[in-house]
Amino acid sequence: MPNYQAVLFDFFGTLTSSVQRGAAHLDTAELLGCPSETLSEVLNRTYYERASGRRGDAATTMRWVCAQAGVHPTDRALQAAVVSRHRAIRADTRLRADAVPVLAALRERGVRTGVISDCTHELPDFLPQLPVAPLLDVRVFSVQVGRCKPDAALYLTACRRLGLAPDACLYVGDGGSQELTGAEQAGMTAVRLAAPDLADHMVFNADRQWRGPTLGTLGEVLDLVATDTEVLGVGGRAG
């Protein structure tokens, strides 16, 4: 069994259940005076532009999105929409039931953990309030790094912060943004989470040609990571 020193996770669709834009996003569109279908189309089309942080902070990015949608809200409406969007994305975020137990079990085995996520400005703001936060050694966000998956910069940033070589790390993701291919190209081992709920997951640039190993549940990650006693060759797997 490989002696991985760290397991790095995608966030949306991996540590969380499948994500779709919920009803709270309608409030954002209303505040902007924009049809919800138009706002969704612009958000989908500009995802990587926004997730790379190239359009500035949250408010500046929202102003740019409005221009793409052909609407021109007041400054007050824009600020309210930024708050509304933060609230809506937080409402869309539901941690998997096994996320905290899996992260805790990895750390008990002496394995370090982290998140590498393509995301806009909201996730870095609210992730510290989630119960997974104290169980993550590193958090790498595309909007802060200025690159999106599968760019090697994201994976190598995590390795640098951990002080580990890529081949010491296992990467787990649902396959969005060509993330599994990117992880392997950066020198990591990658596995795909193929939980049943992900059939309805909102995903961009899926890794459809990737044919590597898959997991049915997040908890199966523990079967891929050696315990300290296994590394020493003096015992069996911890239950």
Has residue 239 got a pLDDT over 50? no
- From CA 164, how far away is CA 158, in angstroms rounded? 9
82-119: per-residue pLDDT in tens?
Answer: 999 999 999 999 999 999 999 999 999 999 999 999 99
Has residue 229 got a pLDDT over 50? no
Has residue 49 got a pLDDT over 80? yes
Mean pLDDT value across residues 51-70 = 96
- From CA 181, how far away is CA 207, in angstroms rounded? 7
Mean pLDDT value across residues 165-171 = 97
pLDDT at residue 110, as a whole number:
94
Has residue 147 got a pLDDT over 70? yes
Has residue 11 got a pLDDT over 60? yes
pLDDT at residue 208, as a whole number:
81
Q: Where in the chain is CATH 3.40.50.1000?
A: 6-19+94-232
Does the N-terminal peptide bond of residue 150 adopt cis geometry, omega within 30 degrees of 0? Answer: yes
Contact 20, 182 (CB under 8 A): no
- From CA 32, how far away is CA 170, in angstroms rounded? 42
Give which of 94, 65, 72, 77 is closest to 27, Cα–Cα: 77
Output DSSP code: residue 108: H
To the nearest whole number, what is the mean pLDDT of the chain? 92
pLDDT at residue 118, as a whole number:
97
CA 50 to each of CA 68, 81, 145, 175: distance values in angstroms, whole numbers, following the listed order: 12, 16, 12, 20
The Cβ-side half-sphere exposure at 219, using a 13 Å CA radius, reads 5
Mean pLDDT value across residues 207-229 = 85
118-141: per-residue pLDDT in tens?
Answer: 999 999 999 999 999 999 999 999
pLDDT at residue 22, as a whole number:
92
Contact 107, 131 (CB under 8 A): no
pLDDT at residue 203, as a whole number:
85
* Between residues 29 and 206, the one the model is more confident about: 29
Mean pLDDT value across residues 17-25 = 93
- From CA 135, how far away is CA 9, in angstroms rounded? 12
What are the φ/ψ torsions at residue 87 (nearest 5 degrees)? -65, -40
Question: What number does CATH give the domain 6-19+94-232?
Answer: 3.40.50.1000
1 band by pLDDT with thresholds 50, 70 and 90:
low
- From CA 114, how far away is CA 214, in angstroms rounded? 19
Has residue 227 got a pLDDT over 70? no
pLDDT at residue 2, as a whole number:
66
